[in-house]
Chain A
């Protein structure tokens, strides 16, 4: 727990010392941490982030519960909308890092994440459920689903890249008001 709190406090210090930043973006666990920063900024403003770009991310651990010794992921069914800035969610239903040899709805436990048990406790059994839960925690989500597994869409697939860019651009435009 202290490691987690150190991480968050360290990032807040980073944001404050190297900022201002208009937004935060992250991939995979970096996306989870990015979502955590957005959540923290919503509860105890420190950066005034305008948007978030989240690739293959998942709901953050609740930092307030953590302070009381409870480790659990934020759950839209219990916590409702918790992040109130525009966000882009770009992910795949496939777990495989290459996007091959896997399929939508595949068991989330094929993902090598230490958060598997928390996801299981929340009732999320697939990658789709995990990623979509984060989108539901956000008030204004732009979702793009691609077929490349646990990766960021790149120039090899223009359709996927175009879709990701569309979600990102809409998010940024919405943030700019």
Chain B
């Protein structure tokens, strides 16, 4: 199974706020403003692309690991790395590649970094064109590391 994955809040806060304002008019609440500021420009996406074999293996132990395996192969894409890191997903994704952008065209120019072990920060490597980068990744898939999986898998129910 191959999934398109959408992370929370930042995915569409701006969109929803625009919707509500279009219906009700007026200013949004202070809370909404904070959300919009905090998660502005987020529309997308992180995507997991496990192989069938990986998927099968991981399904037995942890869905989160399924995500992890997929993400380690393809990277973790978000238009707002701060939101993604704060949401806790990334805490199990340390040492994975993080694609991040705050540009108006999120699919084009992105920064690429690596999630720190604390899951709360990342090290920026540089900027890439995402489409080009994904094509490169697909041609030369990175070897899946088991290190992060081992972090939690032994004690999980099967």
- Could you tell me if A29 and B16 are in contact, using CB atoms closer than 8 angstroms? yes
Kindly specify which of B85-93, B94-102, B108-116, B121-129 makes contact with the partner chain.
B85-93
Tell me whether B17 and A14 are in contact (CB under 8 A): no
A117 to B22, CA, bound (A): 13
Per-position contact with B for A24-61: 1 when CB-CB < 8 Å, else 0? 11111111111001000000000000110101100001
Q: In whole angstroms, how far apart are the Cα atoms of A24 and B3 in the complex?
A: 5
What 0/1 readout, one digit per residue, does chain B (1-38) give for beta carbons within 8 Å of chain A?
Answer: 11111111111111111111011100010011001000
Question: In whole angstroms, what is the CA distance A18 to B45 when docked?
Answer: 12
Stretch from A75-83, A100-108, A128-136, A147-155 at the B interface = A147-155
Nearest A residue to B153 via CB reads A155
8 Å CB contact of A172 from B1, B5, B10: B1
Known contacts A10-B43, A164-B63; A29 and B11 CB within 8 A of each other: yes
- With A and B bound together, what is the CA distance between A96 and B49 in angstroms? 31
- A166, closest chain B residue (CB): B157
Complexed CA–CA distance, A25 and B7 (Å): 9
A27 proximity list for chain B (CB < 8 A): 6-8, 87, 89
- Are B13 and A168 in contact (CB-based, < 8 A)? no
Q: Is the CB of B11 within 8 A of A151?
A: no
For the complex formed, measure the closest distance between the CB of A24 and the CB atoms of chain B, giving whole angstroms.
5
Are A114 and B28 within 8 A (Cβ)?
yes
What is the total number of residues of chain A having a CB less than 8 Å from a CB of chain B? 53
Contact A30 B20 (CB under 8 A): no
| Cβ-defined contact, B12 with A31, below 8 A | no
Considering the complex, give the chain A residue whose CB is closest to the CB of B157.
A162
State how many angstroms separate the Cβ of A171 from the closest Cβ of chain B. Answer: 10
Q: Determine if B23 and A71 form an interchain contact, defined as CB atoms under 8 angstroms apart.
A: yes
Chain B residues near A172 (CB-CB < 8 A) = 1, 59
Residues of A within 8 A of B16 (CB): 4, 29, 113-115
**Interface bits A147-177 vs B (CB < 8 Å: 1, else 0):** 0000110110010011011001100100110
Q: In the complex where A7-B12, A165-B62 touch, is A30 in contact with B47 (Cβ < 8 A)?
A: no
A-B pairs, 7 with minimum CB distance? A28-B8, A30-B6, A26-B6, A27-B8, A155-B152, A3-B18, A30-B11
- Give 20 CB contacts A-B under 8 Å: A1-B22, A3-B15, A18-B134, A20-B2, A25-B6, A26-B8, A26-B11, A27-B7, A27-B87, A29-B13, A30-B11, A31-B8, A152-B89, A155-B62, A155-B152, A161-B156, A162-B157, A164-B63, A165-B63, A172-B1
